[in-house]
Structure 1
Amino acid sequence: MGVSTALVLYQSDGHLNGNQIGTLTAALTIGVAVGSFFGGRLGDRFGRRHVFIATMVIIVLGAFIPFFGVSFVFMLPGIFMLGVGIGADLPVAMATISETADDSNRGKILVFSNLLGGFGILMSVLLGIFFGNAGTTGGHIIFAAFGIVGLIVLLLRLTIPETPVWLKAQEERKAGIRTERADKSALLDLVKKPYSKPFLTLVLYYALVAMAVSVASSFGTYVAYNVAHISVSTYSTATLVSMPLAILGAAWFMAVTDTKWRMTYYVIGSVLVVLANLIPVVFGFNLVALCASVYLTTFAGAFCYETIMKVWTQESFPTMLRSTAQGIIYGISRCATALLNVVTPMLLVLNPDLLYVGVTVLAAIGFFVGWLGFHSNTRNTFHTEAELENA
């Protein structure tokens, strides 16, 4: 959200046009995809700690590049680098969190980590409120804030050790002990039983839903400014209400994610997110309709979107595939999203109503796929990966 706001501010000063913003947004998304593919695999091969320290260095460098020039040609590699760092960081960070938790609180901690990410969105919204009319200077301030936060996180991460689960798997591999967590590490294992069903389900479900959500998340400010003709500061102020809703949704889901009610809330959240995409179509592209759509998506998405994907992924794959699977699932979704991002500005010019109807259909199909794959009893590898395999 912060990057999209900064790009619109550069547009307001004439440095970028709509098509260039679409390309830069796609570059960020492609960078996230590339980083996810490689970061997840490297995290399984060489350890979580080494990778998530390197990724934060990349994020800091990418955030500071816009200070040296705001032309499209100059910003393209910087935005791409920022995406690479973000994408590579996510799978290893999630693996680290899940492997330091236990069955009683793993889901809650993963949800809480997503909640903390929401404070990053809050910072982006506040920056949009205070500097939404500052043009290029406002864009610089937003990227500076990202870089400074990245430096602080980098220093804190230097104190985090490697996860005991990953170290144990490495010991078992070297000793020739055939446990699931030590033996299952090849990419081809992801398309073999018992991992093929959750892997393919998560790839399709998350790619479709991510494409649908990306229009509001990556282009929310763009739609407000260019379609509804709302100023950046006004829209940022209005969407600030979504932050308490995000906290409420995450806190609510924390209470049920490790219980039998997880899937019930997933279904309810899915229906609400699908309906939220249709609000601007039915009531027009105005401040009230756009905000209502954002509010409902923010609250309901806590039960059915990224958080539950992370929980399902961490539970479905063993240690030496956990980060890899997360990275591939996230990377494929970002590739699909990037393709949509490139043409989103053009589609908004042609027919915004049709675009929103299209992403509504994508979301509905994606949520249904997720339900098909996980509505019945599923396998939790944290319960089985330490067991010895048959010869």
Structure 2
Amino acid sequence: MSEPMQGANRPWKTAILAGMASYLDAAALVTSGIAIGGSYAGALGLSAGTIGALLGVQTLMFAAGALVGGRLGDRFGRRMVFSLSLVLYAVGVALLLIAAAPVLLYAGVVAVGFAIGADLPVSLALINEEAPPGKKGKLVVFSNMLWLAGIVAVVVLSSIVGSWGVLGGRIMFAHLLAVSVIVLLLRMTLRESAEWATARRVADEGSVAAERIHFSRVGQLFRPPVLFAVVATGLYYATWNLGASTLGSFGTYLWTTLTGGGVAQFSQLTLLGLPVGFVAGLIFMRAIDRPSRHGWFVAGSVLILVAWALPALFGPSRFTLVAVLLVSGLGNAFAGESIYKVWSQELVPTLLRSTSSGVTMAFTRVIAGLAAFGTPALAAANPRLLFWLLFGFTLLATVIGLFWVPRLPKATDLERVPVDVPHDTPKAAA
């Protein structure tokens, strides 16, 4: 293959392999919710409190991993962090695969949560930095398509093995183990981010040339103007994610507890909205780098609000929970995590980018993790209150996305002089 063709394909190769962090994140979240909340629960004697604690710990460890991995990615490189994180991920899912007691479940969710937290911010930064101008948003949103693919894969698998008890749960964790090992091997062929390598080298030289990079010290992340981007994106992601996290982690629990439905049945119903969400995501990929993306974002936000309003107004039932799945699934294609990922790359300079993403992701998962401890109990005691709270947080996210984020300066406006990136940078050693 000629060098021009290799150069043309490189951003997509990077987007696929680095974007698999989103696949593994979504797949781990949904698999843990289904297996721990359903398949393992009876056989291993897991109470509602234990289920909430396990899923909450996994989310909190994601937060810790995002903080550590994000900072290490800005300091030592994207490639090293996302390689080591996948090794830890594989170890974690192996523990969940063989777990026969809660102690191994806790060890597994700690490892998986930390690993995917460390992986995601550096992987998004690598995708953004390797994408050509005018296509950065498109390739970042593509990672969200892989997030959706992770959900699809798990739901399809669960619809087949969800009624098999513990064996079904082990099969679902085996899927995560196999994918993580394959992705780890393929990621070894990726090069380091050329943009990061250039920015890091110039900053480390400590010469006059370093003045060309306006933001390179971590302390600048917590002072204006970068601080405003961190706070706005962090608050948006955290308030939107409370609904998505509840549905992902506790959807099976809500369905079986509040409506009396079965695990496999819920997985099959979830499949109904996924093709629509996938097509909508493809549309958003075409619009994300154009001014029209704002209109799509508004439409998506309204759909998510409608979705959570239904069970809040009419109470949880099979109809309203299916409506939440379908309507929010469509809305999330144009808002929520997909637009957050784009904002997190657009608004923060190169050498603070994965650190910033790590901070906002950590904040988001801490909030979700704390909420997870009480979600099963609140759902059993007062389910309509739970859905009203989710509606209220989604409304706050919508206000932030519509009226605050658009007023923030872009990273290219903050950096005094753009970093010069060489056309070709030698691939880092495996």
TM-score (structure 2 length as normaliser) = 0.86
Q: How far did 1:378 drift?
A: 3.4
CA contact (8 A) 1:179 1:386 kept: no
Structure 1: distance between partners of 2:416 and 2:280 = 32
1:267 aligns with 2:298: yes
Residue number among 288, 301, 307 corresponding to 2:319 in the alignment = 288
Q: What is the deviation of 1:287?
A: 2.6
Letter paired with 1:35: G
- Confirm or deny that 1:349 pairs with 2:380: yes
Letter in 2 for 1:272: L
Write the distance in 1 (CA, Å) between the matches of 2:368 and 2:32. Answer: 16
Aligned partner of 2:170 in structure 1 is 140
CA distance in 2 between partners of 1:67 and 1:213 (Å): 25
Match of 2:287 in 1: 256
Number of the residue aligned with 1:212: 243
Partner of 1:240, secondary structure, is helix
Alignment of 1:326-337 (within 5 A): 326-337=357-368
* CA drift at 1:96: 0.4
Does the 8 Å CA contact 2:215/2:415 hold for their aligned counterparts? no
Please point out which of 231, 248, 253 is paired with 2:262. Answer: 231
Q: Is 1:35 the counterpart of 2:35 in the alignment?
A: no
Q: Does 1:4 align with 2:33?
A: yes
2:224 is matched with which residue? 193
Distance of 2:356 and 2:80 partners within structure 1: 18
Q: Report the counterpart of residue 136 of structure 2 in structure 1.
A: 106
Pairwise CA distance, 1:311: 0.6
2:334, 2:401 → 1: CA distance?
Answer: 12
How far did residue 139 of structure 1 move? 0.7
The answer to whether the 8 A contact 2:213-2:415 is kept is no
Q: Distance in 2 between matches of 1:264 and 1:179?
A: 39
Q: For residues 42-61 of structure 1, what are the structure 2 equivalents within 5 Å?
A: 42-61=72-91
Query: Cα RMSD (Å) of the superposition?
Result: 1.8
Alignment match, 1:312: 343
What is the deviation of 1:75?
0.8
Matched AA of 2:33: S
Please tell me whether residue 76 in structure 1 is matched to residue 127 in structure 2: no
Please list the CA deviations of residues 211-250 of structure 1 after superposition, one character each: whole Å capped at 9, or x if unmatched.
2322112111110111111100111011101211221221
Unaligned runs of 5+ in 1: none
Distance, in Å, in 1 between the alignment partners of 2:353 and 2:212 is 9
Determine the C-alpha separation between the residues in 1 that align with 2:311 and 2:136: 37
- 10-19 or 256-265, larger mean C-alpha shift: 10-19
Find the aligned partners of 1:249 and 1:177 in 2 and give their Cα distance.
47
Tell me if the contact between 1:169 and 1:181 (Cα under 8 Å) persists in the aligned partners.
no
Following superposition, the deviation at residue 87 of structure 1 comes to 0.7
- Cα distance between partner residues in 2 of 1:100 and 1:118: 22
CA contact (8 A) 2:255 2:261 kept: yes
Instruction: Tell me the CA shift for residue 2 of structure 1.
Output: 1.5
Cα gap change, 1:370 to 1:276, in 2 (>3 Å): same
User: Which residue identity is paired with 1:288?
Assistant: F
- TM-score by structure 1 length? 0.95
Question: Which residue number in structure 2 is paired with residue 244 of structure 1?
Answer: 275
Q: Deviations over 1:160-209 (max 9, x none)?
A: 11010011012212332445774522222113232122111112111111
Alignment match, 2:5: none
Q: Is the 8 A contact 1:181 1:320 kept in 2?
A: no
The aligned counterpart of 2:334 is: 303
Aligned to 1:360: 391
Q: CA deviation at 1:14?
A: 4.7
Report how far residue 352 of structure 1 moved: 0.6
Measured after TM superposition, the shift of residue 97 of structure 1 is 0.1
- Unaligned segments of structure 2, at least 5 residues: 1-29, 420-430
- One-letter identity of the residue aligned with 2:60: I
User: Closer, same or farther in 2 for the Cα pair 1:385/1:47, shift >3 Å?
Assistant: farther
The residue identity in structure 1 corresponding to 2:88 is: I
Aligned residues: 388
